[in-house]
Amino acid sequence: MTEQSARPTSRDVARAAGVSQATVSLVLAGKSRGRVSERTAGLVREAAHALGYRPNLAARNLRLGRTRTALLVVPALTNEFFARVYTGAAEVAGEHGFGVVLYPSPAGVGPARDPFASARAALDGVIASSMATGALDAIRGADGADLPLVMLDSDPAAPGAAARVNLDVADGMRQVTEHLLGLGHRHLVHLASAIASWTFDVRADALAGAVRGVPDATVRTVHAPLEVGAAREVVERALTAPGPRPTALVCDDDILAAGACKAVRRLGLRVPEDLSVTGFDDLALATAVEPELTTVRLPAERIGERGMSALLAVLDGQRPETGDLPVRLVVRASTAPPPSISRP
């Protein structure tokens, strides 16, 4: 007997569980809810496990006209946050017999070369970060335009997406600002990302709105690329500009915050005694710098999981889960009350 002929079939599972092949198909495809009792579904799963049954995905894909492949479009994976998004998406995909193909932009946010002769033929759908829309345009040109699209961290009012999965970044920035204002800071500098993106616009609006609620508080915005060296140079200029020196630097992400901390030290100042510094993302970098960063923790794996789940729901004609994912301020040693005397 060959290995192929010895492989258990859905008929073997049905016989062992005492059910029909149709019931086996529903249970193992994850479509049994409301159609098959939990007891029967449990018997099918136990029988499949005991027999070592694995579905013939190639035959099923041919029958359904699906590749069971999703594309994840992100900036370059040198950014830890997007590597974690991929981890979450791939875990959910694997549980449903899907694969995830990565499509990173080599320059981080610009277009990449389309690797598919036919995106429609190679993919079932696309999950994309709003920070990689240049790369997305390459995929959704020509024949890929009708692929189901799930957008991550993107404008809810923008057209074209079958579903959206957003983080509550506005609340995250409000948490940061309220933390600093509560410590007594009134002169803030916002070290904003130079990347044009909805998520960074929302952070800026939330910061400005929180500051407006405090009569004597001010915020000045400077922009920098998402690089430690570039952030350091921008912050050095901001801290040596004429006028009162700020007492807190509010950074759009942890990479910018690391550059800000370097700038503070180069100017002979201390974090947090002379200036408080905050980040956003809670990357591994946040606890690698000294002092450790006060930052906003974003559930990167969770947004990847939710994005893949939303795509699977769209493909099955179901309504995806809605609601922004909550974020949380993590207070560490990089923030403290402002110095009692500021430089004139």
Q: Give pLDDT tens digits for 105-164.
A: 555 444 445 555 445 557 888 999 888 766 676 665 545 457 889 999 999 998 889 999
Q: How far apart are CA 190 and CA 223, in angstroms?
A: 8
Please say whether the beta carbons of 44 and 23 come within 8 A.
yes
Helices 10-17, 38-51: inter-axial angle, 10-degree rounding? 120
Which pair of structure tokens corresponds to residue 243? 């006028």
pLDDT at 171: 98
In the predicted model, residues of the chain with pLDDT beneath 70 are 1-6, 30-31, 54-66, 76-78, 104-121, 133-135, 137-145, 341-344
**Predicted local distance difference test score (pLDDT) of residue 137:** 67
Element of type H or E holding 152: strand 149-152
Structure tokens at 294: 């006060």
Residue type, 85: V
Pairing of strands 163-165, 328-330: unpaired
Q: What is the pLDDT of residue 131?
A: 82
| CA nearest to 327, candidates 280, 292, 294, 291 | 280
Q: Which domains, from first to last, does the chain contain?
A: 3-55 (1.10.260.40), 64-166+300-323 (3.40.50.2300), 169-298 (3.40.50.2300)
d(CA 322, CA 240): 46
pLDDT at 60: 47
Report d(CA 66, CA 78) in Å as an integer.
Answer: 31
pLDDT at 4: 43
Give the residue among 169, 157, 92, 97 at the shortest CA–CA distance from 127: 92
- The reported pLDDT for the residue numbered 77 is 65
Q: Tell me what pLDDT residue 258 has.
A: 97
Q: Helix, strand, or coil here: 2?
A: coil
Radius of gyration of the chain (CA): 25
pLDDT digits over 303-339, tens only? 999 999 999 999 888 899 899 999 999 999 999 999 9
Residue 38 token pair: 């939990």
